[in-house]
Amino acid sequence: MGKITVETCDIEGLKIITPTIFGDHRGYFMETYNYNDYKAAGIDQVFVQDNQSSSGKNVLRGLHFQIHYPQDKLVRVLVGEVFDVAVDLRPGSATYGKWYGVRLSAENKKQFFIPKNFAHGYLVLSDYAEFAYKCTDFYHPNDEGGIRFDDPEIGIKWPAAPGTEFVMVDRDKNWSSISEYTKSRENG
């Protein structure tokens, strides 16, 4: 190992990965993913799909998850900076409904590993950001789920000035609360 540093988080399963950067007068080089290094760090997943998005300042995407086809995700920022959030939705978890956030940027080059059964979202902090992530299952458009980004029961502290209006699609503004989600899952 040695090419990555892995930090555990307050919520079991979440991990922050920092790659080793090799730099000189030309710029830098880093491995963004090496199966052997990640396996040695306890992240032994097979990723089957890579995704990339671009967004402007104050765009908030999330909180999303797949219901019947949950995905592990390995996320990072290529350009700009985001505040990335994961919310624990694992049934029976001691940290169910708790959230963890981390700043990911082109500058710090950190990655965030989010296991299955977490809701995920991010807020763009820079003027522009490009966001990339690997998934362990394919996207199933009819399997989307979500939790409200501003659910007071979860209490995410998005790093934005008071009165900031987030740029969002209607779907993300109208997801159910975690209480409603939990009730529907228990009755479903």
Q: How far is CA 125 from CA 81, 102, 161, 170, in A?
A: 6, 12, 11, 20
Q: Which of 38, 122, 133, 181 is catalytic?
A: 133
How many of the other CB atoms lie within 10 Å of CB of 22? 11
Peptide bond before residue 63 is cis, with ω within 30 degrees of 0: yes
Beta pairing partners, 123? 60, 83
Alpha-carbon span 154 to 147, nearest angstrom:
10
Do 116 and 24 contact (CB within 8 A), yes or no? no
Q: Which of 64, 69, 139, 140 is catalytic?
A: 64
Alpha-carbon span 60 to 129, nearest angstrom:
12
Query: In the annotation, is 35 catalytic?
Result: no
Query: In the annotation, is 120 catalytic?
Result: no
Query: Where in the sequence numbering do the catalytic residues fall?
Result: 64, 133
